[in-house]
Structure 1
């Protein structure tokens, strides 16, 4: 008896491009950095005061750059406007179009209220922009109640951003690697790790090493959480408790590239954990590996997983190209973040003693 097996393969381009990875990466860092700014600026915890100032700077830089990557991924502004003209309230992606403006408004209001006293000092410094600073300060009064109210608004927006960015991927049942309740939690924890890493990197750029023990302590906790979530996902797959995880592991079985990817993700997480715990007074290395880990998780989930077939038996490998939709776009977003950093640090002091001296940068 002869048996015929037909193997089908469908060639197609990836639906999500590196722009999406960049957006998820930057907006996650911005929202987590916003959360890191609350202890020192909203709740006035003395141990966090200095760190929270740089965390607010991170939130602004990445918060402005993130939506730019999202618009680039949509390819034309009309697609973004369509979310408002024809809202689909049953879609997490459509809800994101409302959550993003809410978060951005809360972030800008919160940042302005926190910076008002400093803007008033700059308005008296005799700088050529002194008149602009005085106008923006609106008296320059420090209003803790208003700051907490703005922090609540921004916090709600940040929580909704972190929720929808995980859920809009998780609800896609056609991709087993995405359709897991672990995914939103993994995005959340890696966003917090990336926020800690970027804040530590900004501290290093300003030459402030005193914050290293505090940031590394929380970085260690975030890496343990990442390892736990990866273990839960793997166990749910090998035990059969999660059909999607089991299907994803079966699709990856026997592929050498996936073994390398898994080993890299696990190894880099362990390395970040070791650096943050053993070199508590070091900022740059733990920060860079934490950022690399946050980026790797999003790249693997959003880009590499698209190589797994939704139908048929053919994988569809993606190769990063030197185009605006590839490496050039990523480099451009790095340049935008660097430009925003230079502009903000040139116009507004962010050092610890800025409020006392008024002209430091």
Structure 2
């Protein structure tokens, strides 16, 4: 009997877990920006106006936290300056260095306008915020799609899936964060049901995109489909991951579908929101960390062991801690310095 030994070299991953955090928070922020811009034009005392505070809260936290994770991914924050000193317009990463500060600035300006009760300012900013949010969605997706050496990345379906899963995470994060806002600013049940409908629409779009991706692959127009089939047939760990993620997503969307009258319950909306956000985060983990385990050349899978330090588990815990701190700070600020709408609500209650 002849024994053939295969040796798999160890390769450092190009994308660290910091990228997962950044692309997740950027997706949440772009979805929140689009919904804020839409709700800004709602009439007074409408469902859209009731939902606006929770969406502004979501936008503020995600738009502030996302650049922090990006700077951490660069290892040396000073490297960010190189994008301006040595600008390369053919690089999506270099273009992102221009697009991201604009988006963060517009997001902060929109949130501040809401806090000050300046609806005219918000409506003036909303078209710019929509364009900026779409530019971030395009840049983050194109940054991955341009890697031609990996068929699982080099496809137009990656930016589309990143956008849709990010916007689904926006719905989930809004479900969670609205529970930590002052009672006077929390959306009513009708507004939560409207947010649920947004989530169902995005989920339906994801199903259609998945079907279109499979059909285009069967027709021979999509090399990423062939690469995914190879993983499915050759590697049980990927097969288990794909089946598990599909079942988890189906359960969460099913809970969203069946939860029309349960959204007012504190625990139900919290668990549902965490599930929606977790599914979007898990998609990014598989996309960035899992795909890097697939060899560009040769057979087998590269083994990746997540470090416990700043480039791994500790960094992820740190980003979660930053988001929790931002939630606490903004919740306290809303209590200590009420918005104009809160002032009006208090005056009405006293009269």
Global fold match (TM > 0.5): yes
Cα displacement (A) at 1:205? 3.2
Shift of residue 334 of structure 1?
A: 0.7
Following superposition, the deviation at residue 249 of structure 1 comes to 2.3
Name the counterpart of 2:99.
99
The secondary structure found in structure 2 opposite 1:253 is: helix
Partner of 1:37: 36
Mapped to 1, the partners of 2:224 and 2:200 lie a distance apart of: 30
Equivalent residues in 2 for 1:1-150, closer than 5 Å: 9-44=8-43, 46-117=46-117, 142-144=118-120, 146-150=121-125
Q: Is the 8 A contact 2:180 2:331 kept in 1?
A: no
**CA deviation string 1:210-269 (max 9, x = no partner):** 133111111111112222222322333344321232134224422111111111221122
Distance 1:110 1:304, change over 3 A: same
* Mapped contact 2:115–2:339 kept (Cα < 8 A): no
1:236-315 to structure 2, matched below 5 A, reads 236-280=216-260, 281-282=262-263, 283-315=269-301
Deviations 1:1-33 (A, max 9, x none): xxxx99774421111010000000011101111
Deviation at 1:348, TM superposition (A): 2.3
Q: 2:303 aligns with which of 305, 312, 317?
A: 317
TM-score, normalised via structure 2 length: 0.88
CA contact (8 A) 1:29 1:192 kept: yes
Listed as ranges, the matches of 1:146-165 within 5 Å are: 146-165=121-140
Higher deviation after alignment, 316-325 or 167-176: 316-325
The counterpart of 1:190, out of the listed 165, 178, 185, is: 165
* 1:347 is the counterpart of 2:321: no
> CA–CA distance in 2 between the matches of 1:228 and 1:219?
14
1:356 aligned residue = 344
> Given that residues 17 and 303 in structure 1 are in contact (C-alpha distance below 8 angstroms), is that contact kept between their aligned partners in structure 2?
yes
Aligned residues of 1:216 and 1:286 also touching (Cα < 8 A): no
Distance 1:143 1:204, change over 3 A: closer
C-alpha distance in structure 2 between counterparts of 1:59 and 1:98, whole Å: 19
Question: Structure 1 81/19 Cα, relative in aligned 2: closer, same or farther at 3 Å?
Answer: same
TM-score normalised over the length of structure 1: 0.85
Count, aligned residues: 331
Residue aligned with 2:234, SS:
coil
SS at match of 1:348: helix
Q: Please give the alpha-carbon distance, in whole angstroms, between the structure 1 residues aligned to 2:293 and 2:231.
A: 10
| CA offset digits 1:319-354 (Å, max 9, x no partner) | 323211111111111110111111111112478962
Question: How much is the aligned-residue C-alpha RMSD, in angstroms?
Answer: 2.3
Contact conserved, 1:216 with 1:276, CA < 8 A, in 2?
A: yes
Query: For residue 175 of structure 2, what is the aligned residue in structure 1?
Result: 200
Provide the C-alpha distance between the structure 1 equivalents of 2:289 and 2:143, rounded to a whole number of angstroms: 15
SS of the aligned residue for 1:319 comes to: coil
Q: Provide Cα deviations, 1:87-136, integer angstroms capped at 9, x if missing partner.
A: 1111111111111011011112222222213xxxxxxxxxxxxxxxxxxx
Q: Provide the C-alpha distance between the structure 2 equivalents of 1:224 and 1:285, rounded to a whole number of angstroms.
A: 21
Contact 2:36 2:56 in 1 (8 A): yes
Could you tell me which residue of structure 2 aligns to residue 214 of structure 1? Answer: 194
Q: 8 Å contact 2:42–2:48 — kept in the other structure? A: no
Verify the 8 A CA contact 2:116 2:340 in the aligned structure 1. Answer: no
CA–CA separation in structure 1 for the residues paired with 2:276 and 2:332: 27
Assess if the C-alpha contact under 8 Å between 1:224 and 1:273 holds in 2.
no
Aligned to 1:169: 144
User: 1:169–1:179: 8 Å Cα contact kept in structure 2?
Assistant: yes
